[in-house]
Amino acid sequence: MKESKLIEMQNRVEALGGAVTRLINEVNNLKDLSIGTMELVKKLPDYDKALEELKEQYKKDKDKDESI
């Protein structure tokens, strides 16, 4: 291969590596945000009641999907 082609490929690999690093950082930030949001929601009044309603709705939807 020509040296210029190898240099071009190396630059692309480095760019892809940088993009993957940014994506990993963004996923970690989103994970932290989602955990924080979940902890906040748990402190809201009537959280337990709402959670039970969601569980019941999930069971109903699951049963409905299985019967089709």
Residue 27's pLDDT is 98
Residue 68 has pLDDT above 80, yes or no: no
Residues 6 or more apart in contact with residue 41 via CB below 8 angstroms: 47
Write out the two tokens for 19.
Answer: 């993009």
Strands of the chain (E only): list them.
none
pLDDT digits (tens, 9 = 90+) for 11-35: 999 999 999 999 999 999 999 999 9
pLDDT of 10 > 90? The answer is yes
Q: What is the pLDDT of residue 52?
A: 96
pTM above 0.75, yes or no: no
